[in-house]
Amino acid sequence: MGQSSLIRPAGEAVTETVPSERATGVRRRSNWARRLSRDKLLVGIGLPGAIALVLFQYVPLLGNVIAFQDYQPYLGFTQAPFVGLQNFSFLWGGDPTFYNALINTLILTIIQTVLVFPVPLVLALLLSSVAGERLKRLLQSVLYMPHFLSWVIVVALFQQMLGNAGMLNTFLIQHNLPQFHIIGVPALFKVLITSQTIWKDAGWGTIIFLAAISQIDQEQYEAAAVDGAGSWRRLWHITLPSLKSLFILLLILRLGNSLNVGFEQIVLQQGPVGRDASEVLDTWVYNNGILGGNWGMSGAVGLVKMVVGIGLVIGANKLAHMFGERGVYEK
């Protein structure tokens, strides 16, 4: 009976060799075939999903050839003239607006990773410590509601509540109190964007963590309590370690998305604060590429972001391995 792939724990190197074969080529080929036949059910189960994914995500990638072309929709990919690396010239062209956008992007991504990313975890811990299932469910349902709103609506809501002509400021004006200006103030733009992101998605983000917390074996808590551990120590020694690998996985994926800090949310609010304060990579491409019908350049930026994103994920994953974590994928 062949060794089932299920039993071997993750991380252990494959040491199995097939004793009968001597020639390398033959061994490799039949090793490959052996593993396929051993795992054929497994592959069969997973294949439909894999095909759907590869088909609809990777095949259209071929369209990124426009990054090397002077492309227009009516020409099609085959007829658009080839221009080599010309569309990538924004990287070395020295356009100050590009570098401004890049810096804004990086600052926002750092703020978001530090401030926005942990919030769902903290909220999830808070929620799970609430006694009473019904109350817990109610609270969760309320907190994730903003997720369903489009950015157009979220921006409008913020305007209505906190805008300079909004409910809060109208109240303040009518009572001769100093006003609260956060919208339309360039210096506070990043604060505004961050608050909006937290408001919109923190609640939704708790769902995954709550599901993970629910997987934790209650007996561990019971045993710890019996041993005299208080709630903080139980949190530190049981809950958090159980969530660690999920948290790191999400963090790595988040890092891979570093250059994507928002498009629709920002482009809707650029007008009042001006581009210096608000331009990020995606809006820069929109303002400088798409608006002028420069599809090739926007394709080029897309490619660059993809390459950078992959590099970041690989790097972050290696970093995770150095700390002994599993990361997104093992070695």
Partner 1 sequence: MSEAAAMRSTPIFTRRRLLAGAGGLAAMAGATSLVGCSNGVKSANNASVNASVKLPTYVPYTAVKPDLPGTAQGVDNAFRHWPSNNPKAVSEKPGNGQTLTGMANIYYAVPPGPNKNSYWAGLNDRLGVDLQIQMVGNADYATKFPTVIAGNDIPDILQMVVVANFPQLLESKFTPLDEYLAGDAVKDYPNLANIPEFTWKSAVYNGKIYGIPIPRGAIGAYNFIRQDIFEAKGLPTNPKGYNEFIQVTKELTNPKKRTWAFSMIQQPRNFLAAMNNEPNTWREEGGKLTHDYETDEYKQTINDLIAMWKSGVLHPNAFDTAQPFKNLFNAGTCAINAMDGYPGWTQYISDNSSNPNFKLGLMEAYNRAGTGLAHWHDGTGVYSITGLKKQTSKDKIKLILRVLNYLAAPFGTEEYLYRLFGQEGVDHKMSSAGDPVLTKTGQTNTVIPIRYFADAPYTVYQPGRPQDADTQHKYQSVEIPTGIKNPTIGLFSNTAATKNATADAAFTDAVNQIIQGRKPFSDLDTQISTWKSAAGDAMRNEYQDQLQKKGSK
Partner 2 sequence: MTTLDQVRGSSRESSRSRKRPVWMEKPSLFVQVIKFIVLLIAIALVIVPFWSVFATSLANKATIDASAGGMVLWPGHGMSLASYQALLSGGVVTRALIISIGITAVGTLLSLAATAGLAYWLSRSRSFAAKPVLMLVLGAVLFSPGLIPSYLLVKQLSLLDSWWSLILPVLVNAFNVIVMRAFFQELPQELFESAAIDGASNLTILTRIVLPLSKAVLAVIGLFYAVGYWNAFFNALIYIQTSDKWPIALILRTFVVNQQSIGGDQVANTQGLPPQLSMEMAILVIATLPILIVYPFIQRHFAKGVMIGAVKG
Restricting to residues 177-216, which ones interact with partner 1 according to CB under 8 A? 183-184, 186, 197, 201, 204-205, 207-208
User: From residue 263 to residue 292, what is the string marking binding to partner 2 with x (rule CB under 8 A)?
Assistant: ------------------------------
Both tokens of 186, joined, read 């360039």
CA 44 from chain centre, in angstroms, equals 29
For partner 1, the binding residue among 21, 39, 70, 325 (CB under 8 A) is: 70
How far is the C-alpha of 26 from the C-alpha of 118, rounded, in Å?
51
How far is the C-alpha of 240 from the C-alpha of 232, rounded, in Å?
11
Establish if 99 lies at the interface with partner 2 (CB under 8 A). Answer: no
Positions in 165-184 near partner 2 (CB under 8 A)? 165-167, 170
Establish if 217 lies at the interface with partner 2 (CB under 8 A). Answer: yes
User: From residue 43 to residue 72, what is the string marking binding to partner 2 with x (rule CB under 8 A)?
Assistant: x-xxxxxx-xxxxxxxxxxxxx--------
Are 56 and 49 in contact by the 8 Å Cβ rule? The answer is: no
Establish if 185 lies at the interface with partner 2 (CB under 8 A). Answer: no
- For residue 31, the partner it binds in partner 2, partner 1, none, with Cβ less than 5 to 8 A by kind, is none
How far is the C-alpha of 290 from the C-alpha of 76, rounded, in Å?
17
Are 302 and 67 in contact by the 8 Å Cβ rule? The answer is: yes
Q: How far is the CB of 231 from partner 2 (least distance, A)?
A: 6
Q: Write the CB contacts of 152 (distance below 8 Å, at least 6 apart in sequence).
A: 264, 268
* CB-nearer residue toward partner 1: 245 or 257: 257
How far is the C-alpha of 283 from the C-alpha of 213, rounded, in Å?
38
How far is the C-alpha of 44 from the C-alpha of 49, rounded, in Å?
10
* CB-nearer residue toward partner 1: 208 or 314: 208
* CB-nearer residue toward partner 2: 100 or 220: 220
* CB-nearer residue toward partner 1: 51 or 165: 165
Are 16 and 7 in contact by the 8 Å Cβ rule? The answer is: no
CA 212 from chain centre, in angstroms, equals 18
Secondary structure letter of residue 112 according to DSSP: I
How far is the C-alpha of 213 from the C-alpha of 215, rounded, in Å?
5
* CB-nearer residue toward partner 2: 185 or 207: 207
- Alpha helix segments (H runs only) across the chain: 24-38, 40-53, 96-111, 119-128, 133-144, 151-162, 167-174, 189-214, 218-226, 231-234, 240-256, 264-267, 270-273, 275-278, 281-288, 295-322
Positions in 121-140 near partner 2 (CB under 8 A)? 123, 126-127, 129-135, 137, 139-140
Q: How far is the CB of 232 from partner 1 (least distance, A)?
A: 26
Establish if 294 lies at the interface with partner 1 (CB under 8 A). Answer: yes
For partner 2, the binding residue among 23, 187, 226, 291 (CB under 8 A) is: 226
Are 317 and 256 in contact by the 8 Å Cβ rule? The answer is: no
Q: How far is the CB of 269 from partner 2 (least distance, A)?
A: 15
Q: How far is the CB of 135 from partner 1 (least distance, A)?
A: 23
For partner 1, the binding residue among 51, 152, 225, 308 (CB under 8 A) is: 152
Are 176 and 135 in contact by the 8 Å Cβ rule? The answer is: no
Q: Contact residues for partner 1 (CB under 8 A)?
A: 63-64, 66, 70, 72-74, 76, 81, 97, 117, 120, 147-148, 150-152, 155-156, 159, 163-165, 170, 173-174, 183-184, 186, 197, 201, 204-205, 207-208, 250-251, 253-254, 257, 260, 262-264, 268-272, 274-276, 282, 285-295, 298-299, 301-302
